[in-house]
Structure 1
Amino acid sequence: MQLVSYIISHTQLPETSVKNTVELLHEACTIPFISRYRKERTGNLDEVQIGDIVKYKEQFETLEKRKITILKALDDQDVLSAELRQKIEATQDITALEDIYLPYKKSRKTKAETARKNGLEPLAKIIMSQNASDVESIAHKYIKGDISSAEDALEGARHIISEWINERTDIRNNIRQQLERFATISTKVVKSKKDDEAAQKFRDYFEWEESLSRIPSHRLLAILRAEKEGFIKSKISIDDEKALFKIEDRILKSRNACASQIQLAIQDAYKRLLFPSLSNEALQNAKEKADASAITVFAKNLKQLLLGSPLGEKRVLAIDPGFRTGCKIVCLDAQGNLKHNETIYPHPPKSDAIGAMKKISSLAEAYQIEAIAIGNGTASRETEALIRKVHFKNDIQVFVVSEAGASIYSASKIAREEFPNYDVTVRGSVSIGRRLQDPLAELVKIDAKSIGVGQYQHDVDQTKLQSELDTVVESCVNAVGVNINTASTSLLSYVSGIGPKLAENIVNYRTEHGVFKSRNAIKKVPRLGDKAFEQGAAFLRIKESKNPLDDSAVHPESYAIVEKMARDLGKPISNLIGNSTVLQKLNLSDYCSDSVGLPTLQDIIKELEKPGLDIREQAKVFTFNQNIKSITDLQEGQLLPGIVNNITNFGAFVDVGIKESGLIHVSNLSDSFVSDVNAHVSLHQQVIVKVLEVDVPRKRIQLKLHK
């Protein structure tokens, strides 16, 4: 089976679409570029479908690489027959491939290998033939060297038979099926750790049992974490008697003395080889599914966070609140540049609220502040209350902004390079302010795993997590577009076809030569060749360019089409921008060619109607209930405003303005069945919730989404 056929078998996508997409990928095209600007070749596939093609392409290539390694190993052993080669080459599953290779693996010294060296393989074959009636007498003939008795000989023969049984694909697959359908996972607390304070968050799993195939991802990951930390032990189980019976049914043909030896070998093979290996494989498969589920949730959360509402180019005063160490204040201009920083002490122990209010008022006036961003950490509510008492001369909006990951950024190399003369507290405050201006541009500087969305991000496969999160960031950056004259190296590095090194070259060129005045000028950046320009140019915006298309998502390769449209309408291109009435007069079929079809032309018209439109909503002011200051202020039945601050498979967590977030369990999101939490709420969504239950000792709050 070739690559295209393999992908089709897993995705059910049209052959032409898959074939052309694979060709584009081989041409070093990116997913955002292919999905946006090669719709005719792909049959209008979206990013998700192209991502699936990429996934199965990589899976196929991994499989083929493993086949080559195995074929070489078998050839080196001089055991590669034409039949075995054909069998390997026809295999389309990595597990089946490893099963074929299992008998030929050069493994560590085994009991079976020792028995073979002692000359016991002929005895094992005699027993497996099941024709001999007196195997003990036959076994006496093999007493020599390290074999001192007939029982030693029989035991060695059984070890060889056990290995044969372990290597049988049909038997392994049968046990796999039983594990897949009937396996349970159970847990027991480690008695010496039962009363540990750190173990209490896992106390639900001190004694637990559940179907392995049905256990929710978050529960399995919690169990595995608790076991890793030494608080519990887990066990995978199936009906052993049933499993043994099915093996015997496949092997035993008689009930003589040979059968008794084979039964012992079957029990040994199952207990020592088959079940330990295959139950670990089943657990690993369950873990991979749990990882995939957790990573999907994390990716959805990250996308919502990155596409969070930007305030835009406004002058911002940002505050990183605190008690003893004071509140760190920075003033930023509309482009996010730091203009001023200092510290105020409105809260205990200094309690200089009046002085702090005067300082904030004077800074707001001096820097013509249009909005205030307050970090949502320690002393956030108290600082917000203070700010709302200040009488500003102008109307200033006040926002509470998530601090998640700000400390990671402030101590990072990126932050040190941006602000070499300022300490981490100033950098953290700047990050809070910039997050309000443009969440995407600021959050791309932080390792996505540190942003604080999702669950168990440290327990899932880190390579797969990083790959998925990088894909999400790339998708978001390219969906929004990037102003090349203001973007940071971090933001530019996620633009299609650019990457970290070219991003650095772009910033260095901009610093040395000034702002880019056209998209064509981008070609002057060192090492930015034709392919990088093709992939990235349409995602890079040039504000105030002579050519208005440079500030749009129209690809430079399509400029000639727009110019022809303008000529046909008898108007300059600038008069087409935002002019739906004029654009609707065009007959798009007149502009179709072998390479450009209606999908691309429709995208061009849509972009001309609203060039550079930000797909994100504008930031909205939000106010918590000012009477709720701690968990003890909550009462059952209260209706409260809140902000969704995390989403999991089992529900959504909501910030209601206190230290502890409340949980809307999946069952409390709707009166009907909920299959996807994200279909009902999104990250940072402003919601109204009803308090169902408050557990003060355990600091748990149960909420219901109020429609």
Structure 2
Amino acid sequence: RTGCKVVCLDRQGKLLHHDVIYPHEPQRETAKSGALIKALCEQYAIEAIAIGNGTAGRETESFVKSIGLNNKIIVVMVNESGASVYSASEVAREEFPDKDVTVRGAVSIGRRLTDPLAELVKIDPKSIGVGQYQHDVEQTKLKQGLDDVVMSCVNSVGVEVNTASKELLSYVSGLSSSLARNIVEYRNQNGPFKNRESLMKVSRLGEKVFEQAAGFLRIREAENPLDASAVHPESYPIVEQMAADLGCSVKDLMSSAELRKQLDLKKYVTEKVGLPTLTDILSELEKPGRDPRQVFEIFSFTDGVNAISDLKVGMSLPGIVTNVTNFGAFVDIGVHQDGLVHISHLSDKFIKDPKEVVTVQQKVKVTVVEVDVARKRIGLSMKSNPFADQAPSGPSQPRGKKDKPKEKEASMEEKLAMLVSKFKK
């Protein structure tokens, strides 16, 4: 009714344009909405479209796919849990003081596709919708738990400096919240960072801070391939010397295991650089950034299944795990209501903990075993044969002598009357 909020973001997540379209009832301005989306895609060289999985999400996805966009533009459904909480938060008001809450929410959904962690750290942990007791535990401890996890991610994987929010950057060693804000402001004014050295141009970011933070800040597709790794700028000359000794480029050294095997690390040991440091550098060259994510796959729900009323028992559907609890896992199958896979239906074998077989955001194949439209409950199964344990149902067979129905059991009063009658006789 109030329309679909549209925002255009650049590669760094900066808001370029916002608008509203009305492709659904009651307005149903399909042609006008389609023309606007096409024009915006061309004007801003759009590479991907993120659609929130809330109200009319599936219908909007079908509409966008039907308007004839360039095949190179990917259309992805994004989990919008907590986006409305962010849009009304102090963080969002500070970032977009003159924008409506709906615009802020749309920006959050778009950024979640670009750099999910950078956006999720802005939201109160209990509003992310992951876990079982997030509303019951002490909130300060919950926040501390989230902080510990984010710090662990930052230290092991690093932060993409060209897409990270100031909230995520503030977790990096040496960066305060004010320095993180300065980095984002510099990026918005001057465009993406092309190398780590340009970070020194940021206001109040001196050599000491650079020394602490540079190793955790990544720049993909940088001029120097080492800027995408955990190798600190101070160690660049060592890597360059290694490449020179082998007669190859730094890029070749990073991509070829054969070349790295030819290196004798003892040759590069100095008073300042020991063998453990050189071993760490070599392991980082083997897998720059240690990014645990696989190659991005476009996920799509089953066409024609948009509401709980479309579900039928026995249907096999693709889904995404949205939450894992002690009693099972919740799976989004694209009908605005997550279905529950009970722990007894998570696997063909017995499991004690759902976390043994499923994780949040995992893509799974499920079978519908129960649908209760009135109560909005969906029962799902990940078993290969979910109906194997149920008794076979078929046409009733004629009863034989052994199948004679049981007579209704007499009540206590009737039994007493029978005893009295026998006694009198």
CA distance in 2, matches of 1:572, 1:396: 34
Partner of 2:292: 615
Partner of 2:362: 685
Partner of 1:452: 129
Deviation at 1:401, TM superposition (A): 0.6
Could you say if the C-alpha distance between residues 683 and 674 of structure 1 is closer, same or farther in structure 2, counting changes exceeding 3 Å?
Answer: same
1:414 to 2:91 alignment: yes
Deviation at 1:706, TM superposition (A): 4.3
SS in 1 for 2:288: coil
Deviation at 1:351, TM superposition (A): 2.1
Out of 373, 376, 387, the position equivalent to 2:53 is 376
Partner of 1:553: 230
Partner of 1:489: 166
CA distance in 2, matches of 1:661, 1:544: 38
Partner of 1:9: none
1:662 to 2:339 alignment: yes
Deviation at 1:514, TM superposition (A): 7.9
Could you say if the C-alpha distance between residues 647 and 593 of structure 1 is closer, same or farther in structure 2, counting changes exceeding 3 Å?
Answer: farther
CA distance in 1, matches of 2:285, 2:305: 48
CA distance in 2, matches of 1:511, 1:327: 27
SS in 2 for 1:388: helix
Deviation at 1:376, TM superposition (A): 0.5
Could you say if the C-alpha distance between residues 675 and 534 of structure 1 is closer, same or farther in structure 2, counting changes exceeding 3 Å?
Answer: farther
Amino acid in structure 2 at the alignment position of 1:422: K
1:569 to 2:208 alignment: no
CA distance in 1, matches of 2:342, 2:203: 53
CA distance in 2, matches of 1:372, 1:552: 29
Out of 331, 348, 354, the position equivalent to 2:8 is 331
Could you say if the C-alpha distance between residues 370 and 575 of structure 1 is closer, same or farther in structure 2, counting changes exceeding 3 Å?
Answer: closer
Amino acid in structure 2 at the alignment position of 1:462: Q
Please tell me whether the aligned partners of residues 193 and 219 of structure 2 are also in contact (alpha carbons under 8 angstroms). Answer: yes
Please tell me whether the aligned partners of residues 320 and 362 of structure 2 are also in contact (alpha carbons under 8 angstroms). Answer: yes
SS in 2 for 1:440: helix
Partner of 1:473: 150
Out of 383, 386, 400, the position equivalent to 2:77 is 400
Amino acid in structure 1 at the alignment position of 2:296: A
Amino acid in structure 2 at the alignment position of 1:565: M
Amino acid in structure 2 at the alignment position of 1:474: M
Out of 164, 172, 177, the position equivalent to 1:500 is 177
CA distance in 2, matches of 1:688, 1:544: 35
SS in 2 for 1:339: strand
Deviations 1:30-83 (A, max 9, x none): xxxxxxxxxxxxxxxxxxxxxxxxxxxxxxxxxxxxxxxxxxxxxxxxxxxxxx
SS in 1 for 2:255: coil
Deviations 1:173-219 (A, max 9, x none): xxxxxxxxxxxxxxxxxxxxxxxxxxxxxxxxxxxxxxxxxxxxxxx
Deviations 1:419-448 (A, max 9, x none): 333211111111111111221222222223
Out of 625, 628, 652, the position equivalent to 2:305 is 628
Deviations 1:289-338 (A, max 9, x none): xxxxxxxxxxxxxxxxxxxxxxxxxxxxxxxxxxx111111122333222
CA distance in 2, matches of 1:529, 1:680: 47
CA RMSD of aligned residues (A): 3.0
Out of 379, 384, 392, the position equivalent to 1:702 is 379
CA distance in 1, matches of 2:274, 2:349: 43
The TM-score, its normalising length taken from structure 2, stands at 0.80
Could you say if the C-alpha distance between residues 577 and 703 of structure 1 is closer, same or farther in structure 2, counting changes exceeding 3 Å?
Answer: same
Please tell me whether the aligned partners of residues 474 and 496 of structure 1 are also in contact (alpha carbons under 8 angstroms). Answer: no
Deviation at 1:558, TM superposition (A): 3.4
Partner of 1:367: 44
Amino acid in structure 1 at the alignment position of 2:166: T
Partner of 1:425: 102
Partner of 1:443: 120
Q: Which has the larger radius of gyration?
A: 1
Amino acid in structure 2 at the alignment position of 1:617: Q
CA distance in 2, matches of 1:334, 1:613: 22
CA distance in 2, matches of 1:452, 1:706: 25
Structure 1 or 2: more helix by fraction? 1
Deviation at 1:692, TM superposition (A): 1.9
CA distance in 2, matches of 1:623, 1:589: 52
Identity, % of aligned pairs? 59
Deviation at 1:560, TM superposition (A): 4.7
Please tell me whether the aligned partners of residues 365 and 393 of structure 1 are also in contact (alpha carbons under 8 angstroms). Answer: no
CA distance in 2, matches of 1:632, 1:488: 40
The TM-score, its normalising length taken from structure 1, stands at 0.50
Deviation at 1:492, TM superposition (A): 1.0
1:640 to 2:317 alignment: yes
Could you say if the C-alpha distance between residues 598 and 688 of structure 1 is closer, same or farther in structure 2, counting changes exceeding 3 Å?
Answer: farther
Partner of 2:422: none
Could you say if the C-alpha distance between residues 486 and 625 of structure 1 is closer, same or farther in structure 2, counting changes exceeding 3 Å?
Answer: closer
CA distance in 1, matches of 2:111, 2:67: 23
Please tell me whether the aligned partners of residues 125 and 134 of structure 2 are also in contact (alpha carbons under 8 angstroms). Answer: no
Deviations 1:390-433 (A, max 9, x none): 11244422111111111122223332333333211111111111
CA distance in 2, matches of 1:509, 1:396: 29
Deviations 1:143-198 (A, max 9, x none): xxxxxxxxxxxxxxxxxxxxxxxxxxxxxxxxxxxxxxxxxxxxxxxxxxxxxxxx
Could you list the runs of 5+ residues in structure 1 that have no partner in the other structure? 1-323
Deviation at 1:655, TM superposition (A): 1.1
Amino acid in structure 1 at the alignment position of 2:360: L
Please tell me whether the aligned partners of residues 348 and 383 of structure 2 are also in contact (alpha carbons under 8 angstroms). Answer: no
Out of 342, 347, 350, the position equivalent to 1:673 is 350
Deviations 1:257-300 (A, max 9, x none): xxxxxxxxxxxxxxxxxxxxxxxxxxxxxxxxxxxxxxxxxxxx
Could you list the runs of 5+ residues in structure 2 that have no partner in the other structure? 385-425
CA distance in 2, matches of 1:564, 1:330: 47
Could you say if the C-alpha distance between residues 621 and 519 of structure 1 is closer, same or farther in structure 2, counting changes exceeding 3 Å?
Answer: closer
Deviation at 1:572, TM superposition (A): 5.3
Could you say if the C-alpha distance between residues 448 and 595 of structure 1 is closer, same or farther in structure 2, counting changes exceeding 3 Å?
Answer: farther
CA distance in 1, matches of 2:358, 2:122: 26
1:348 to 2:25 alignment: yes
Q: How does 1:97-246 map to 2 (within 5 A)?
A: none
Partner of 2:65: 388
CA distance in 2, matches of 1:518, 1:433: 25
SS in 2 for 1:416: helix
Deviations 1:587-607 (A, max 9, x none): 234445788666543432233
CA distance in 2, matches of 1:485, 1:347: 36
Deviation at 1:458, TM superposition (A): 1.7
SS in 2 for 1:642: strand
CA distance in 1, matches of 2:333, 2:325: 18
Partner of 1:294: none
